[in-house]
Structure 1
């Protein structure tokens, strides 16, 4: 398996210029066609407008690419055979010369391996509801426990067990910072109902935390920057709660389990909210891309 950096990304990493890693799963699996390609380009442009170079990561014919070209981005956005790749899938997909889209876990691992310290995504995976029976937990958590990268997100997807996820992050030694908030965001909604121990007020302060963690050298773990949507841009909380309750009931009735639960619930959100949840999802990733670029720029100045 090889990792190929675009010329722009390679030069930026070499000279310490700000770079932001971006996942490709949101492009290939998370957003509907044909809007997915337009939004992917908009995410990259948002990173540029905020002072950093975008490095969208994916696999093309078995090669891991950090900084997909527009042709490669189009390929992953439009083909039907693009595989969703977590960390455990990378070697097999490379050997099979597959086209693949990287998840939060694999994007984090690849970005850190090539020296990129900031990653923007929508929402993290986490501990699933009833995980005490199913042991269903996202690979995002264990990867972040051993990967030194700052991940800007809107919390974890609200369809998960948010409280249990925060407990696991604490156990795994993954730092969590609230950006201008002392409450953990709930992805579609601004406030999940859980307090945070630390909050920060500026990209420079976040960059200082990253530098201090690196200087101490005690624990090579990720840092989560929880960036809530403004209240007036969130999904209506009452609509969110009703939709979630209905979705959980449907999943139970249809006996949907394992990795099929999250896409089923997200699809239910899209249909039940008449597309409002998708609009919020797009606002989330653009909001996070802007902050991630500002953090990367601040870290570069340090």
Structure 2
């Protein structure tokens, strides 16, 4: 594409190529025995049945990650880019206690509406949200669970959660990491959010048995807002075919763990990285002083960083 896109959209493009590579290698989607709780869009259902490339998308970015109206614009633009790349987008979300695999436009708009109340939904929230008939924006963890149940092996997102700074005393560690260790879905992202402790997060992923690789010429691990975090990934891959082979072998071995493929943001946004990182350091201290914790930390920090950088962090995102 001639126009520049955000790192999140770049990740979607990469994931489509990876998914196509899986099809080329003959990788079959996992069967699902618990789809009774899932409602598939006709397009997604047909694509899975025909073994066409399907890309799972999350909805926390819609319900909690971006302000209106950027949230709805980004979600719809991402879906369009996935389609233009030859894959079928499957945006996953929960509306009034029903899980949808492949939200329609009006459903995305409903979740994106500031007047809609939605729960930030990880694995541990699913039973409650469904049983109480609530709305839910699925996190990396929640989306992985539901994508796997739906038979979709590739999921893309902006940045995964991780070990929070100061976790040695708070024990605040994202459920995304344990999910990667227990659910065989490949997650393509722009790395780990730079508001987190990236070094400890990579160590934790190793402990969980998660294969981590960067996509590109080096194994410099990206930090969401910037192309390099100063840490190295164990591996790097340079083609969708290589990633497809990784996914296939993981499936053949029955490892039951996921993989993380980190795609650096476009070079034109990298110059913002240091400026944003300085602001992040200040906002992290601010959040600690205010006693903000748990699932409220990330939305608070991202919003404050966006405000303090006058929207520059949202552009890089």
Relative to 1, partners in 2 of residues 1:129 and 1:19: Cα closer, same or farther, differing over 3 Å?
A: same
List per-residue Cα deviations over 1:27-74 (Å, max 9, x = no partner).
Answer: 111111122112111010111111210000001121100001111111
Residue 183 of structure 1, aligned match among 194, 211, 220: 220
User: Is the alpha carbon distance of 1:5 and 1:235 closer, same or farther for their aligned partners in structure 2, counting shifts above 3 Å?
Assistant: farther
Hey, what's the Cα distance between the residues in 2 that align with 1:235 and 1:88?
38
Match of 2:127 among 83, 91, 95: 91
Partner of residue 19, structure 2 = none
1:39 equivalenced with 2:65 (yes/no) = no
Match of residue 297 from structure 1:
none
- Alignment pair present for 1:169 and 2:216: no
Provide the TM-score with structure 2 as the length reference: 0.85
Within 5 A, what are the aligned runs for 1:132-171?
132-171=168-207
Aligned to 1:195, the other structure's residue is in SS state coil
CA contact (8 A) 1:235 1:276 kept: no
Question: Could you tell me which of 125, 133, 142 is aligned with 1:106?
Answer: 142
Question: 1 CA distance for matches of 2:222 and 2:144?
Answer: 21
The answer for the alignment partner of 2:17 in structure 1 is none
Counterparts of 2:301 and 2:63 in 1: how far apart (Å)? 18
Residue of structure 1 in register with 2:41 after alignment: 6
Corresponding residue to 1:122 among 158, 164, 167:
158
Alignment partners' CA distance in 2, 1:157 and 1:120: 14
> Which residue is equivalent to 2:12?
none
Aligned length: 280
Pick which of 226-235 and 41-50 moved more: 226-235
Q: How many Å separate the matches in 1 of 2:293 and 2:253?
A: 42
The answer as to whether partners of 1:188 and 1:235 remain within 8 angstroms in 2 is no
Match of 2:85 among 50, 61, 70: 50
Unpaired runs of 5+ residues, structure 2, are 1-35
1:173 Cα deviation (Å)? 0.3
Distance of 1:11 and 1:135 partners within structure 2: 43
> Paired residue for 1:195?
232
CA contact (8 A) 1:154 1:185 kept: yes
Across the aligned residues of Structure 1 and Structure 2, the Cα RMSD in angstroms comes to: 1.3
| Partner deviation per Cα, 1:153-190 (whole Å, 9 max, x = no partner) | 01111010100000000000011111003111000011
Q: TM-score, normalised by structure 1?
A: 0.89
Residue deviations 1:11-41 (CA, integer Å, cap 9, x gap): 1111211000000110111111122112111
The answer to whether the 8 A contact 1:112-1:147 is kept is: yes
